[in-house]
A and B are shown apart, each in its own frame.
Chain A
Amino acid sequence: MINELKQKLLANFNDVQVNIPEDNRMTVNTKKESLLSLVSYLKNMGYNHFAMLSCVDWIDDKEFELIYIISAYPQDDEHYQDKEKKNILLKTRISRVKAKFITIISIFENAEPYEREIHEMFGIHFEGHPRLTPLMLERDYKIPPFRKDFDTNKYVENTFGKVPSIKERKEGKK
Chain B
Amino acid sequence: MNIIALFVSPLIALIAGMFFLGLSRKISARIQWRYGPPIYQPVIDVIRSFSQKSITHGKFFDFGIILSLSSSFVLILFLPIGKLCALTSGGLIAFLYLMLMGPFGIALSGAAAANPNSSIGISRKFLLALAYEVPLLLVLLTVMTHYHTISLVEIVNIQANSGWAFGSWALILPGIAYLLILPAILGMRPFEVVGAAQEISSGPIAEFGGKHLAFYTLQHALHVFVGIALFVDIFLGGWTFFGLLNPLAGTVWAVIFGIIIFLLKMTLVLFIGLFVNAVYPRFRIEQAMQYLWKWPTLISFVGLIIVVLTK
State yes or no: do A and B touch (Cβ within 8 Å): no
